[in-house]
């Protein structure tokens, strides 16, 4: 029986194995967090709380129902950190790393699985790509921890300060938004330029995507010896890198401007800060909304206008092949281009003088449709089981499904059915863009082999 089950598991498509691997890791993490020595008081944590914490860690969301710094012991915090790292990189990547360390050979199936886990279209030099991802991740997190330690070690002492620095660096790079500093996230540090700058840098680095990283490094490596100007190097970036960088900059600084306008005089958020403080915290808010989850202002004090702006940014999220969640920047832009090309009666979608394939356009539409429908259904269910204001329920569900982790003080107050809905939202949000659409796209129907006569359908 066991042998048969292993054979069946191996026969599963990568689109099925990826969410199953996330689910197994969540359940194992929940069991470990349920153990008495995972809690600071030495008592067993109820399974739903452990399951919620394991899910938010693996799905790098950051929503919590108990304080991470107070409820969990050092062992429990270590388990959470391990789950965050595994969730940020992906379980398939972690398993592949272990195979590399033990010098095991990769089969064709292993390579296809790894390719799907990174959502790549090509398997060329895949193992080299994986190695560079792991090295880049640990280098970025290491530098972040060193920078954090300049603030945390003097304040908390060497051992505790170093531990907080490592935890925060991994959490920020993986866009998890969990910390072990206190119960107000980074609100106590919103005037600290080191903490603010390091956190924003790690969030952006993790959210840009590994493909963009390596393309930039490749161009710089080629351009510096040949004394290319910065403008020449930018022109040599791939069309994907150009799109991600330009759209990311628009979202970051556009979001900063919008939050400055809507929250400028709000004493509950940035109204009492200096102009420089308002600017810095508006920039931080714009960045953290795109799946990071750290906060320097109370989200529940935001105006309704800012709340709606937040919905938009949380839904979009970061960029493909990175640690961020959401429907992704490229996906949203392709959807926008599809609408634009229809209005302008254009036959093709062209970005940076490159045509976008029809398959990519269809995939983008499917990702957005599945994501929006899941958000709407889960929001209705949450309001049904927990009568709360619609704007708060929608904020929480979008935050969970976009793996953002920001909260309007609702998650911890939810009952058991409400927490289960948020768990489902987090899981679907983490696995959805990389496997839900792939699941449907791999279900090939024989009907595609039949050519039907064109029907008349009235649209709009």
350 pairs with which residues across the strands? 355
The per-residue pLDDT for 313 is 93
On whether the CB atoms of residues 191 and 278 are closer than 8 A, the answer is: no
- Report d(CA 314, CA 293) in Å as an integer: 10
Helix/strand/coil for 3: helix
Q: What DSSP letter does each residue of 429-454 carry, written as one string?
A: HHHIIIIIHHHHHT---GGGGS-PPP
Nearest-angstrom CA–CA distance, 371 and 435 = 12
Neighbours of 84 (CB within 10 A): 27
Partners of 39 in the β-ladder: 72
Hunting for tokens 């999220």 — which residue is that? Answer: 317
C-alpha span between 320 and 207 (Å, rounded): 8
The partner residues of 374 in beta bridges, in order of sequence, read none
Contacts 24+ apart (CB under 8 A), 2-10: 10/109
Whose CA is closest to 85, among 158, 159, 150, 168? 168
* Site of tokens 């929940």: 30
Residue that is written with structure tokens 């006569």 in the block: 453
Per-residue pLDDT of the chain (460 residues; tens, 9 = 90+): 444 444 444 455 555 667 777 888 899 999 999 999 999 999 999 999 999 999 999 988 889 999 998 999 999 999 999 999 988 876 556 656 655 555 566 555 556 555 655 555 555 566 777 788 888 889 999 999 999 999 999 999 999 999 999 999 999 998 888 999 988 888 999 999 999 999 999 999 988 888 888 889 889 998 888 888 888 999 899 888 999 999 999 999 999 999 999 999 999 999 999 999 999 999 999 999 988 889 999 999 999 999 999 999 999 988 887 777 888 888 999 999 988 888 888 888 888 888 888 888 888 888 888 889 889 999 999 999 988 889 899 999 999 998 888 988 888 889 999 999 999 999 888 876 445 555 555 444 545 566 777 766 666 6
Tokens for 191?
């005037």
DSSP letters spanning 175-206: T----SS-TTTTGGGTT-HHHHHHHHHHHHHH
In this structure, what token pair is assigned to residue 257? 């401007």
Measured from the Cβ of residue 149, the count of other Cβ atoms closer than 10 Å reads: 20
Distance of alpha carbon 339 from its chain centroid, rounded?
A: 26
| Cα–Cα–Cα angle for 166, 171, 176, rounded to 5 degrees | 170
pLDDT at 9: 45
Look at residue 255 and give its three-state secondary structure: helix
Burial profile 102-131: b = 16 or more Cβ within 10 angstroms, e = fewer:
eeeebeeebeebbbbbbbbeeeeebeebbe
Q: Return the exposure string of 180-217: e unless at least 16 CB atoms fall within 10 Å of the residue's CB, then b.
A: bbeeebbeebbeeeebbebbbbbbbbbbbbbbbbbbbe
pLDDT for the residue 96: 61
Phi, psi at 66, each rounded to 5° = -135, 150
Domain edges within the chain: 8-440
What is d(CA 51, CA 59) in angstroms, rounded to the nearest whole number? 12
- Per-residue confidence (pLDDT) for residue 388, from 0 to 100: 87
Q: Which residue from 69, 70, 74, 66 is spatially nearest to 50, judged by alpha carbons?
A: 66
Q: Label the pairing between strands 350-351 and 354-355.
A: antiparallel
Q: Which residue has the tokens 């069991």?
A: 31
Q: Residue 351: in which H helix or E strand, if any?
A: strand 350-351
Distances (CA, A) of 270 to 148, 191, 198, 259, 291: 24, 12, 21, 9, 21
Q: Which of 221, 252, 267, 290 is nearest to 62 (CA)?
A: 290
CA angle 96, 17, 206 (to 5 degrees): 55
Helix (H) / strand (E) element for 97: namely helix 91-101
The CA distance from 21 to 18, in Å, is 5
Question: Contact 186/199 with Cβ under 8 angstroms?
Answer: yes
285 with 259: CB under 8 angstroms?
A: yes
Pick left, alpha or beta for residue 12 (phi over 0 → left; psi -120 to 50 → alpha; otherwise beta). Answer: beta
CB 327 within 8 A of CB 368: yes
């Amino acid at each position: 029986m066991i042998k048969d089950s292993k054979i069946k598991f191996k026969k599963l498509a990568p689109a099925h194995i990826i969410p199953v691997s996330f689910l197994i890791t969540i359940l194992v993490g929940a069991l470990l967090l349920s153990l008495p020595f995972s809690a600071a008081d030495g008592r067993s944590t109820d399974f739903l709380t452990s399951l919620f914490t394991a899910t938010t860690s693996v799905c790098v969301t950051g929503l919590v129902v108990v304080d991470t710094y107070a409820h969990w012991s050092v062992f429990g915090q270590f388990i959470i950190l391990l789950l965050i790292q595994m969730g940020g990189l992906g379980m398939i990547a972690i398993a592949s790393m272990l195979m590399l360390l033990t010098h095991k050979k990769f089969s064709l199936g292993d390579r296809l699985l790894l390719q799907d886990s990174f959502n790549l279209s090509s398997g060329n030099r895949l193992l080299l790509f994986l190695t560079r991802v792991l090295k880049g991740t640990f280098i970025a997190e290491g530098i972040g921890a060193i920078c954090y330690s300049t603030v945390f070690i003097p304040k908390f002492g060497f051992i505790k300060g170093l531990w907080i620095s490592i935890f925060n660096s991994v959490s920020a790079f993986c866009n998890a938004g969990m910390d072990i500093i206190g119960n107000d996230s980074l609100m106590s540090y919103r005037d600290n330029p080191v903490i603010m700058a390091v956190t924003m840098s790690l969030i952006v680095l993790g959210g840009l995507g590994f493909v963009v990283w390596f393309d930039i490094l490749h161009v710089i490596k080629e351009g510096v010896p040949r004394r290319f100007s910065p403008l020449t190097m930018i022109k040599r970036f791939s069309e994907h890198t150009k799109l991600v960088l330009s759209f990311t900059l628009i979202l970051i600084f556009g979001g900063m401007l919008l939050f400055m306008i809507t929250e400028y005089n709000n004493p509950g958020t940035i109204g009492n800060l200096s102009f420089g403080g308002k600017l810095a915290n508006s920039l931080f808010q714009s960045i953290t909304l795109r799946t990071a989850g750290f906060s320097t202002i109370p989200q529940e004090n935001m105006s309704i206008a800012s709340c709606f702006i937040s919905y938009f940014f949380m839904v979009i999220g970061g960029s493909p092949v990175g640690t961020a969640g959401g429907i992704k920047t490229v996906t949203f832009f392709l959807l926008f281009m599809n609408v634009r090309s229809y209005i302008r009666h254009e036959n093709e979608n062209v970005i940076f003088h490159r045509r976008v394939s029809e398959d990519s356009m269809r995939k983008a539409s499917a990702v957005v449709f599945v994501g929006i429908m899941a958000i709407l259904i889960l929001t209705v269910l949450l309001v049904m089981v927990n009568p709360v204001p619609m704007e708060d329920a929608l904020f929480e569900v979008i935050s969970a499904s976009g793996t953002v982790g920001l909260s309007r003080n609702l998650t911890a107050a939810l009952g058991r059915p409400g927490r289960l809905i948020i768990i489902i939202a987090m899981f679907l949000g983490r696995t959805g863009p990389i496997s839900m659409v792939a699941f449907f796209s791999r279900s090939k129907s024989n009907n595609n082999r039949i050519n039907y006569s064109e029907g008349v359908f009235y649209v709009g």
